[in-house]
Amino acid sequence: MRVTSVTTTLSAEDILFDLKTLVEPKVPELEVSTIILEDNYIEIKGSYKKGVTIPFLARVKIVSVINNIMTLKIEKVRVLKIGIPKFILNLASKTAAKKAEEMGVYYSKENKNISVNIETILSEVPHVHLIVDEFTMDKGLLTLKIKSIEADLDAMEKERNKDKIEEERIKREKEEKRIREFNRKLGLLERTEDSYTGFRNTIYRKVPFDKRNIADYALILPDLYALAFRLLKDKRVARRDKILIGFTFGYPLLPIDIIPKKFPIIGRLDDLYIVLFGADHILRKIPLPIIVKNWQGDLNILKQVRDNIDMIIGFTPGKNLSQAYEFVDNSLDNKNPSYLNDEYYLTPEIKVVEKEEPAVFTPDSIKE
């Protein structure tokens, strides 16, 4: 984009804001507190910190603007010297002068003038080029006539996107770090052991090594039943969920159908669908650390079951029951939540042992 000329007006507040935005970040020792515009003068009050804080007041007059060089004449400079050693003042003066030159501000000892290279100062605002042609000051306002303004809008847009991409990258790295730490702690959980543990290990050892991946899948249903039984004994599991677990995993074991076929929805479900409904509910609702602690099988298998059981049940008559129960359960949970977030259940009171599983799970606080 290119504009031939434009006139802009700056107040004392505008100049103070620009100094704090463009100058102070590059000169952290400098703090400008007040700007006053009067007649053809600019009065600046502030302080410079070099070991000690040195208050100052400077009054300058704008002489001219030629070829983007603004010339200022120093009318008055006052520095509070009380209690400040001379060598500190000299050091502060040299340091300030050096940093000023880096920013395009030069001081001439001969005529006590300051030259300001506008182009150098504007280098802090990338992709914008302009020439200041004239200036006037009236009623506390500095008016600048600017010509030949050029702005690379595409580059500016890329610059904005660059910041956004960087923010997203930092956010993504933080989430990845949380996920790695979450899974590290999951892998350190001491898993529950009972009679099923020994029974399963005995069977597993008898399976040929090259067939054990098949055995992992074949043992999903027994592992789910073992999980359900252990959750019934886990004090952290809500009573409402224990009732559901007892019904959905216990009903298929009964020798008779307690619920008639004519009973709406549930009466038409096969036993397997009821188990899938129960498994789907507990794997979605009960915090993952509680599930992992009570799961006997491989965690990668658990993740596959957890990720896909909802889709599987969607193709069965259990879908309607799942939706109806979820609506009621969510309503009750909104009034009185059953659990806190996943990471809460990885607190230090949980005993850990030195073993680790691969990172495969995402905490519920990140998924939300």
Residue 51 near residue 43 (C-beta atoms within 8 A): no
pLDDT given at position 230: 95
Please state, in angstroms and rounded to a whole number, the distance separating the CA atoms of residues 134 and 364: 61
Buried b (16+ CB within 10 A) or exposed e, 63-73: eebeebbbbbb
Q: How many degrees, rounded to 5, is the angle at CA 259 between CA 254 and CA 260?
A: 125
287-336 pLDDT, tens digit each: 999 999 999 988 899 999 999 988 888 877 667 778 888 888 888 888 88
pLDDT given at position 349: 44
Please state, in angstroms and rounded to a whole number, the distance separating the CA atoms of residues 368 and 178: 14
pLDDT given at position 126: 65
3-state secondary structure of 229: helix
Q: Report the candidate in 275, 278, 276, 259 with the shortest Cα–Cα distance to residue 267.
A: 259
3-state secondary structure of 108: strand
Q: How many degrees, rounded to 5, is the angle at CA 99 between CA 68 and CA 148?
A: 15
Tell me the longest C-alpha to C-alpha distance in the chain: 109
pLDDT given at position 354: 46
CA torsion, points 82, 87, 89, 90, in degrees to nearest 10? 150
Residue 276, beta-bridge partner list: none
H, E, C per residue of 11-74:
CHHHHHHHHHHHHCCCCCCEEEEEEEEECCEEEEEEEEEECEEEEEEEEEEEEEEECCEEEEEE
Q: Which residues of the chain are modeled with pLDDT < 70?
A: 1-4, 81-97, 124-127, 151-153, 155-157, 159-160, 255-270, 317-318, 347-360, 364-368
Q: Strands, DSSP E only, in the chain?
A: 2-10, 30-38, 41-50, 52-66, 69-79, 105-108, 113-117, 128-138, 141-151
Residue 347 φ/ψ, nearest 5 degrees: -70, 160
pLDDT given at position 232: 94
Q: How far is CA 320 from CA 140, 266, 316, in A?
A: 74, 9, 9
